Amino acid sequence: MKKIAAFFLFVFTILAGTSFAFQTSGFTNPYGVVVDQKTGLIYVGNVNGGVDDKDDNGFISRLKTDGTIDLIKFIDGASPDIMLHAPKGMAILGNFLYVCDLDALHTYDLTTGKQLFDVNFGTLPHQSFYAITIGPDGALYLADAGMNVIYRIDVAKQHEVTAFAAGEDFGSPHGMAWYPARQVFVVSGNASGQITAYDRSGKRQQTPGIFVKTLEGMDVDDTGNLYVASRDLGSVYRMSPTFAINGYQVGLQSPVGVGLNRATKEMIVTSFSGNTVQSYPTVK
């Protein structure tokens, strides 16, 4: 029975579909992706090397809604006034573009690309930032994969940083999102292969025991579905509010970043080693 179940799962995932709305190439190890929901512009972080390399050669590309490249190097670490090593998760709040870069959280002007400031973590230990999201309270929540910590950044209080939650349960978090359908933060553990959930106070909530290798970025659509990428399995999975999971897009090459374009109802996915960015409809 287990073999039969595994066979049907295999067939199902193969038939899940890989048609895309657009596919754009020309990137260099693209990782994080975020969409400006006001303008439809898409921002893609290019690591341009190893994910841990402190080489100041990372860059941010800007795409139009249809996937065509507006500026391949909208923000360029090679510029003398820009510091950017290996950009990963990103978030847009107001006219600020926040970028996770190794042990720093950079802030850039969303319009001009000018580097504004780095968030000050004071004496708080921090090591390897991978994901950032906006919480229901308007604060930023940042995942540190090296420390297994989620930090809360109160933008209204001059970007005051506090520890929101910590523990080995995070399993080296590479993705995070606020999940309105369940009123929790969901976190994808790259090392653990598990999705964990936490309420607004940082207390862990029960979730089904789902194990998927090398989980990466995640996002949520407007109908309550959660999307999460598995780099090694070459798939983006879709999970319903009841945590039923299926293969949304399979047969991909090293998918890592996942970001929703609400206007077009498309999920944008980056391919780290394929050096492409694809867009897939979330509704048929």
Residue 268 scores a pLDDT above 60: yes
| Of the candidate ranges 6-15, 104-113, 148-157, 215-224, the one whose mean pLDDT is the lowest | 6-15
pLDDT at residue number 13: 36
pLDDT at residue number 47: 98
Residue 14 scores a pLDDT above 70: no
pLDDT at residue number 243: 85
Dihedral of alpha carbons 273, 104, 99, 137, sign: positive
Tell me: the pLDDT tens digits for 127-178?
A: 999 999 999 999 999 999 999 999 999 999 999 999 999 999 999 999 999 9
pLDDT at residue number 266: 97
Tell me: the pLDDT tens digits for 73-96?
A: 999 999 999 999 999 999 999 999
Tell me: the pLDDT tens digits for 182-236?
A: 999 999 999 999 999 999 999 999 988 888 999 999 999 999 999 999 999 999 9
1 pLDDT band (50/70/90 cuts)?
A: very low
Residue 4 scores a pLDDT above 50: no
18 pLDDT band (50/70/90 cuts)?
A: low
pLDDT at residue number 199: 98
242 pLDDT band (50/70/90 cuts)?
A: confident
pTM, 2 dp: 0.93
pLDDT at residue number 135: 98
pLDDT at residue number 9: 33
